[in-house]
Amino acid sequence: MNNAPMRRLAGLGSALVVLGATGALAAGGLAAPGAVRVPPRGATAVCADGTYSFSQTRSGTCSHHGGVGRWLTPSGDVQVDVGATVLLARRTKTSGCKLGPNPDRRCSPGAYSSGLTRTVLCSSSFHTSTIRNVPDSERHAVEIEYGLQPRGYGSTLEIDHIVSLELGGSNSIANLYPERAPGYHLKDKLENRLHDLVCSGATALRAAQTSIARNWQGLYVDAFGSTPHVRR
């Protein structure tokens, strides 16, 4: 049986009731609790009330079902346990943060997730999409702390992870800051290089995390031999 139409309907939040390959009923993108013992194909989250969500975005997932109980990987397996959030320094401010090419360390010191070890991060089955969880409410909270209007800014600005997810960074607000283009594009390039160095054993994970949080632009010069162009 071709399940693609069922998954598309569920992803669109259709009110239709459809029958999946497992025999579990799904309505509006949610499967009935207790109908199956394993997550149905295409499920992305288990809601607090036991239903499954097929939402393709994390914002608002399971909002009418008690919130997200646990996230699932695209294959339907339980997501990696990221562990506890560990701050790289104490967060001493939550307003009046200075917007610039680097995070205001008083507001955004950087943080990593204790469960995201080198073994986990360098596994061929690891994908940052399975741990990314920054809802709009958290993005807007960061914008407000930095004196910005809480809204979307398109490609001109991104609420970026200070320690990137591929380096074990946390989704905590302490690890997020507003980064203007083209800075975040260049930082992405550096993050990919650092991930390769960590996985090859050339750089220790903790050293990569602290270094990119302290001065990613200086690290960029070391990695690529040129100064990144960022808005001051």
Query: In the predicted model, is pLDDT for residue 209 greater than 70?
Result: yes
**pLDDT higher than 90, residue 182:** no
Contact 174, 111 (CB under 8 A): yes
Q: Which tens digits make up the pLDDT trace of 105-159?
A: 999 999 999 999 999 999 888 888 888 889 999 999 999 999 999 998 888 889 9
Confidence of residue 54 (pLDDT cuts 50, 70, 90): confident
Neighbours of 192 (CB within 10 A): 13
User: What pLDDT does residue 39 have?
Assistant: 72
Can you give the pTM of this predicted structure?
A: 0.68
Name the pLDDT band for 61 (thresholds 50, 70, 90): confident
More confident call, 33 vs 85: 85
Q: Is the pLDDT of residue 76 over 90?
A: no
**How far, CA to CA in Å, does 110 sit from each of 53, 73, 156, 168, 193?**
31, 25, 22, 11, 19
Per-domain residue ranges of the chain: 4-71, 85-224
Looking at 62-165, list the stretches that DSSP marks H as alpha helix, in order from N- to C-terminal side: 118-121, 136-145
SS3 of 196, please?
Answer: helix
**Neighbour count for residue 27 (Cβ, 10 Å):** 14
Q: Of 1-10, 32-41, 64-73, give the range with the top mean pLDDT.
A: 64-73
